[in-house]
Amino acid sequence: MSFTVAIVGRPNVGKSTFFNRLIGHKKSIVDDVSGVTRDRLYDVSEWNGKHFTVIDTGGFVNASQDIFEKEIKKQVELAIEEASCILFMTDATAGITDLDNQVAKLLRKINKKVFLIANKVDNNQRYLQAQEMWGLGFDELYCISSQSGSGTGELLDAVATLIPDDNEPESDLPKFAVIGQPNVGKSSFLNALLDEERNLVTDIAGTTRDPVHSVYRKYGKEFMLIDTAGIRKKHKVFEDLEFYSVIRAIKAIEDCDVCYLMIDATLGIEAQDMELVSLVIKRNKGLVILVNKWDLVEKTTYTSKEFETKIRAKLAPFVDVPILFISAKDKQRIFQAVEKGLEVYNNRRQEIKTSDINDKMLEAIGKVPPPSYRNHLIKIKYITQIAKPYPAFAFFTNYPDQIKGSYKQFLENQLRELYNFNGTPIRLIFKEK
Ligand code: GDP
Ligand code: GDP
């Protein structure tokens, strides 16, 4: 199951600084609700080879100057419900404030691991100041500087010990998730798949926190559906911020093999959809795009082709993703969606013979060799597939760090031409030999 780390704390303690350090870059997402651009609030991160999702819950509440107790409470409740563990951040330079005490009080009651952090510990003097935070009543205190990064390694080591090893789910059934913005038709699609033969469907109900996994068994096809739809309805309070739909989508991505990203034909592909695409690619999951509500679109001969071209332009360079035009309402092309999902699942799992890949790729490389580096010839000597749940290849070369991005893209394109990797990301790794 996915591991989620939530950062909580009052405004200005440094949550987003720490968050940006964790995700290693800064990017913006457009918040459709308020119409403003704001920092990204969730992303995936990695430490010691373990992956986890980080949420900056501070961004999900109204962080106006006079922040209400209610808002803080909401933030902490989000974290408590959704996170696997919580990073409670305070500011060593400010000491313990009223709001810190309020957050601490909420967090002391829960039975999830809470890491108390004194941030802005940029020097030894501050380290002494930070000791005051013991007063908040937790067993451990991590002193860090989000700005310089000092102390963050120890904190992340401690967090990482809680994260199970990066294994794919044990079930050998393919796992599919349906993700997308609210109202695009995810539930309708799931119902179209599952409803008619309810007796063949087993609901493996998790706890209230877990998505419900249903098994689809029909026409000799079998797979597991990670159902994140419907959960939103239980949390009407937070609907304005779409927090739950976002977090559920992230979890579903982590738990699945292949994602169906559903978009609304009347709206087209939007910024939020591209955010989800980028998470799917980052986690090396398979992707099928379903353009739903196709029944509502006035069709001329070229409509679907034009629509498809637009989507592919946005996906570039990952262009060989299956795109289907469906209607969940009219049950149009639902079965094709199933077949495509299984196809992508198989593409993602295929094993390529070492001799075959070397014969074919070394020939292609011979024709278009990598650009030389400071008059040194770069040679790619051989290639092997790495044992991963997704396609990953190691290229052995004399200058692994000098292969340009454009050449990496060339290699990936070659692999995609030689083999069928439709709908699945590919990872290339360069090693010295
Ligand atoms: P948030 O409201 O909790 O997300 O806080 P921010 O990340 O926006 O940080 C608030 C302020 O504290 C900003 O001016 C940051 O530059 C500053 N800050 C964050 N981390 C550190 C740190 O480790 N040391 C110092 N000196 N300042 C920091
Ligand atoms: P979800 O929030 O993504 O799970 O979306 P729902 O499945 O609840 O659907 C949202 C609305 O879109 C509902 O009113 C559905 O009846 C409607 N809807 C879903 N699929 C289709 C479709 O293929 N065509 C049309 N016309 N409406 C649809």
pLDDT digits (tens, 9 = 90+) for 307-332: 999 999 998 888 799 999 999 999 99
Which domains are seen in the chain, by residue range?
4-160 (3.40.50.300), 175-349 (3.40.50.300), 354-432 (3.30.300.20)
List the 175-180 sheet strands across, edge first.
203-204, 212-218, 221-227, 175-180, 258-264, 286-292, 323-325
CA 146 to ligand 1 centroid distance, Å = 7
Q: How far is CA 161 from CA 52, 82, 90, in A?
A: 12, 19, 23
Ligand 2 binding pocket includes 186 (Cβ within 6 Å): yes
> Which of 94-108, 114-128, 153-167, 343-357 shows the lowest per-residue confidence on average (mean pLDDT)?
153-167
List, in order, residues 6 or more apart from 209 with CB less than 8 Å away.
81, 82
CA 13 to ligand 1 centroid distance, Å = 6
Would you state the pLDDT for residue 209? 33
Mutate to test the pocket of ligand 1, among 8, 10, 12, 56 (most ligand atoms within 8 A of CB): 12
Would you state the pLDDT for residue 353? 94
- Pick the atom of ligand 2 nearest to 327's CA: 23
Query: Ligand 1, atom 6: nearest CA belongs to which residue?
Result: 14
Mutate to test the pocket of ligand 2, among 329, 330, 334 (most ligand atoms within 8 A of CB): 329
User: What's the whole-number average pLDDT of the chain?
Assistant: 82
- Proportion of the chain above pLDDT 90, given as a percent: 49
The two structure tokens encoding residue 46: 């990695």
| Ligand 1, pocket residues at CB < 6 Å | 9, 11-17, 58, 119-120, 122, 145-147
Buried b / exposed e across 364-394, counting CB within 10 Å, b at 16+? Answer: ebeeeebeeeeeeebebeebbeeeeebbbbb
- Pick the atom of ligand 1 nearest to 20's CA: 7
Would you state the pLDDT for residue 420? 96
Would you state the pLDDT for residue 350? 95
The two structure tokens encoding residue 254: 């982590």
Burial of 312 (0-12, 13-18, 19+ CB in 10 A): middle
Residue 81, pLDDT above cutoff 50: yes
Query: Ligand 2, atom 6: nearest CA belongs to which residue?
Result: 185
